[in-house]
Amino acid sequence: MKIKVNHKAHEFPDKSTPKEVAEKLHLTAPEQAISVSINGKLRDFTTPLTEGDELIFWNFDDPEGKEVFWHTSAHVLAQAILRLWPNAQPTIGPPIENGFYYDFGNLTISDEDFEKIEKEVQAVLDENYRPERMEFANKQEALSAFSKNPYKCELIDSFTETPISAYRQGEFFDLCRGPHVAALGKIKAFKILKTSGAYWRGDSEREMLTRVYAISFPDKKRLKEYLFLLEEAKKRDHKVLGPALDLFSFKEEAPGMPFIHPRGLIIWNRLIDFLRECLKEANYLEIKTPLMMSKELWERSGHWYHYRENMYTSRIEERDFAIKPMNCPGCMLYYRTATHSYRELPLRIAEIGHVHRFEASGALNGLFRVRSFHQDDAHLFMRPEQIRDEINQILQLADKIYMTFGLPYRLELSTRPEKSKTIGTDAEWENATNGLKGALDDWGHSYRINEGDGAFYGPKIDIHIRDAIGRYWQCGTVQLDMSLPQKFELEFVESSGAHERPVMLHRALFGSIERFFGILVEHFSGKFPLWLSPYQIKIATVADRHIPYAQELKKKFEKHNLVCDVDDSNESVGKKVRNAQLLKTNYLLTVGDQEVEDKTLAVRTRDNVVHPKIDFSEFLDIVLKERDERALMSPFSKAP
């Protein structure tokens, strides 16, 4: 029979399985063929194939591969724990962004138990079970199989579809929709990370469970690299560095709503200035819409019905209002304030809007997950034939912004979900998707396609930036929206005089500015390039008699809008140097008798190299050039 494998046609015997196909194609390395999609859906490796099937094998580096790999690993973890604590009651064990966890009832463990759990995990892996799927025709069969586990029974009762599936590996049998890796031998490295408490089904009124977090890899080298990055990430934690550098703080009086301090505001304002400079060059108009708008607006946009539990609402003069959780509806109202001609299109409207979303307290995470934040939104209105060019311009803008910070990125195109769950005609979806795909092809940057992962109102492009230690962050997004222009009855006048509906693109590049701020703190480890730095220059005096010269220098630097501080404390020079280093100061200038006499500078860079006897004008020219060019590295030093 003929089937397609990773988009290439092959001949295989009838009733071949994905496992047999992978073996014949020599996809047998531990990191290869972790999972398989058959006709767009993840399936088990034992699934019989039929004529015309299309297979995609996913490796560990693919999200689809990691998901299955880590979900299988969660079963291994549960199996090992039940061998050691037979009375524990397994509940759920999903894959997460980095690894997986499994929650247990009737289990108490500590860090001291990790080693013996890992030893038992290795025993399970050495047995190299092949996970076997079985199905229950109805709920009663499934309830009977899991009758001794109330958590599983509660899950089964909540299911609305049959059959209900479960998987067996050795003596371990678990309720699970699957799929799993073909054999446990794929898992070559395994590490327990931590344990914590977790409420059953996330409900604080329910019982507390024991959650065990872990991670696994197809080779030991990847595990070693991951553990190194974990340690590096701890050193860069923005929740530690931010307060230490006096950039921001959080208060109990405003949970999830950051206070940006004066030094943090220096960074904030430079980010906004840079963004506005980019917007002006790209011919955007900027608007500002109200923070609070009426219930009727949110009903029209759909937020009142689908997002209300995440919105802050208020009742004023017998009318319901909500603080905006996003900027889009306000921009729709702005568009409707005038009649637009086809000559105005594409019309690019930007808003750096302050939005509020209720997040559960347990989900809050420094600047990464907050309740009050700013989005660098833009809404672009155009004719269908302009989609491709507009996407190209957005990608050019994204490239300029991310490269300025030294942030490489990857692109993902998400296409139409199941047709019944979307709006718009087949022709509109095809035109929209081809516009996005064509723009990506024109751009020439590699990208992956997430089939069926678009929004109900249109396809989208997601941009994932990579920081200095290799972590990816989804920041930028470009979404084509066929819903809001329809709901708000947006129109433009065509050359024929007919009234037509514009195509609209949402786009954000920083995303949440607060979150992007936090990412930058960790990316640079607090050592910001000069143009962003809140501690650009510090002058350390050797003795009190050198203070007048230091103050004279400070005024000269500040005339050029450079941030300059003078440390004229009674501390030793060594202590002053140390204090400047703790604040990640770009340049420390030591002023003593020789510098005062010669009118020169002794410049110490962040990598602790001293450059003596530098003329002030020479140093000023160098740092102004470094700042104005937004250089990532100091011309004086090998490290940023």
Active-site residue identified among 506, 515, 554, 584 = 506
Active-site residue identified among 152, 263, 460, 584 = 460
CA angle 507/509/515 to nearest 5° reads 125
> What does the DSSP assignment read for 60-78?
TTSHHHHHHHHHHHHHHHH
Active-site residue identified among 153, 328, 331, 475 = 328
Active site residue 328: yes
Phi, psi of 594 (to 5 degrees): -65, -40
Question: Buried (b) or exposed (e) across 151-166, using 16+ Cβ within 10 A?
Answer: bbbebbeeeeeeebbb
Contact 454, 419 (CB under 8 A): no
Active site residue 421: no
Active-site residue identified among 43, 357, 388, 584 = 357
Active-site residue identified among 44, 377, 462, 567 = 377
Contact 376, 526 (CB under 8 A): no
Active site residue 319: no
Active-site residue identified among 32, 79, 169, 375 = 375
Tokens of 74: 């969660």
Active-site residue identified among 379, 471, 507, 554 = 379
Contact 99, 77 (CB under 8 A): no
Active site residue 377: yes
The neighbour count for residue 221, using CB atoms within 10 Å, is 11
**Nearest-angstrom CA–CA distance, 301 and 328:** 9
H/E stretch holding 97 reads: none
Residue type, 257: M
Q: Integer distance in angstroms from the first to the last C-alpha of the chain?
A: 58
> What does the DSSP assignment read for 559-573?
HTT--EEEE-SSS-H
Strands 95-96, 89-90: parallel, antiparallel or unpaired by DSSP?
A: unpaired
Active site residue 357: yes
**Nearest-angstrom CA–CA distance, 38 and 601:** 68
Active site residue 71: no
Which residues are tagged catalytic?
328, 357, 375, 377, 379, 460, 506
